[in-house]
Structure 1
Amino acid sequence: MKKIIIEDGLLLTDMEITFNGQLLPLQRVLVDTGSGSTVVSTDLAESIGVVADENDMIYRISGVGGSEFVYSKTVDSVRIGDMQTEDFALEIGAMNYGFNLAGIIGLVTTIESNYKYRRIDITIK
């Protein structure tokens, strides 16, 4: 069971990523039902060694909040509550959206990754 909160109209949760054996816990991760991918803040990703290299393609993603340049990296795992997937491709970007977020979980991505829906507790603040 994973705790999800609604804060200022945003659906938020926590997530952990592991890259080269290093764990990065992320708080204030937006659950975006319309996003086709999962994005993590460049600054936070760099703290565990996730950095762009010369072979990474940089591309633009767009959404309701605007657009930004990102690159893709495959991490060892992504965990949300007791749901985990291995060898997961994330997009890494600046995430300058005007509010404090560590990442965005794309609901389309979670469905494609075979996450099983479980009971979720939602708290409204």
Structure 2
Amino acid sequence: MKKLFVDNGLLLTDMELTFRGEQLILQRVLVDTGSGSTIISTDLAEKIGIIAEENDIIYRISGVGGSEFVFSKTVNSIKIGNMEVQSFTLEVGAMNYDFNLDGIIGLDLLQEIKAIINIDMLTLDINK
């Protein structure tokens, strides 16, 4: 089970990802059932070597907040509390929004971990 917190009306948590042996802890990650995909900040991703490479395709995604260019990268693992997924493909983008976020946990990752979000208790758990 992972504790969630609310800041300025946003449901947030932290998560850890591993890429080619390097670990990155993201402190302010939005839990967003309305986002189809999971995305992390380009600035933070670069710290562990996640960069756009020659064969990566850069494409535009759109949402309620506007649109931006991203690229996809498969990370070795993502951990949220005691929940972990291996070999997960996420998007990397500038994330220039009007609020401070390190990433967004989208529906793709929530489905992969079979997440149960308890708004009353502010927890994220897995369906066992």
Q: Same fold per TM (> 0.5)?
A: yes
Contact 1:34 1:108 in 2 (8 A): no
Post-superposition offset of 1:119? 6.3
Q: Matches of 1:118 and 1:91 in 2, distance apart?
A: 22
What CA deviation, in whole Å up to 9, does each residue of 1:93-115 have, x standing for no partner? 0000011100000024321x143
Q: How many residues align?
A: 122
TM-score for both structures, normalised by structure 2:
0.89
> What residue number does 2:33 align with?
33
**Which aligned pairs between 1:1-125 and structure 2 lie closer than 5 A?**
1-111=1-111, 113-117=112-116, 121-122=121-122
TM-score for both structures, normalised by structure 1:
0.91
Unaligned 5+ runs, structure 1: none
Relative contact order (C-alpha < 8 Å, sep 6+): which is higher? Answer: 1
Secondary structure of the residue aligned to 1:117 is strand
Q: RMSD over aligned Cα, in angstroms?
A: 1.7
Contact 2:83 2:113 in 1 (8 A): no
What CA deviation, in whole Å up to 9, does each residue of 1:44-98 have, x standing for no partner? 0000000000100001111111110000000000111111000000100000001
Q: Matches of 2:27 and 2:113 in 1, distance apart?
A: 23
Per mean C-alpha deviation after superposition, the further-off stretch among 27-36 and 101-110 is 101-110
Contact 1:37 1:109 in 2 (8 A): yes
- Percent identity between the two aligned chains: 65
Contact 1:83 1:115 in 2 (8 A): no
What CA deviation, in whole Å up to 9, does each residue of 1:4-63 have, x standing for no partner? 011111000001110001110001100111111100000000000000001000011111
Contact 2:16 2:78 in 1 (8 A): yes
Secondary structure of the residue aligned to 2:4 is strand
Contact 1:44 1:102 in 2 (8 A): yes
Q: Matches of 1:118 and 1:59 in 2, distance apart?
A: 30
Unaligned 5+ runs, structure 2: 124-128
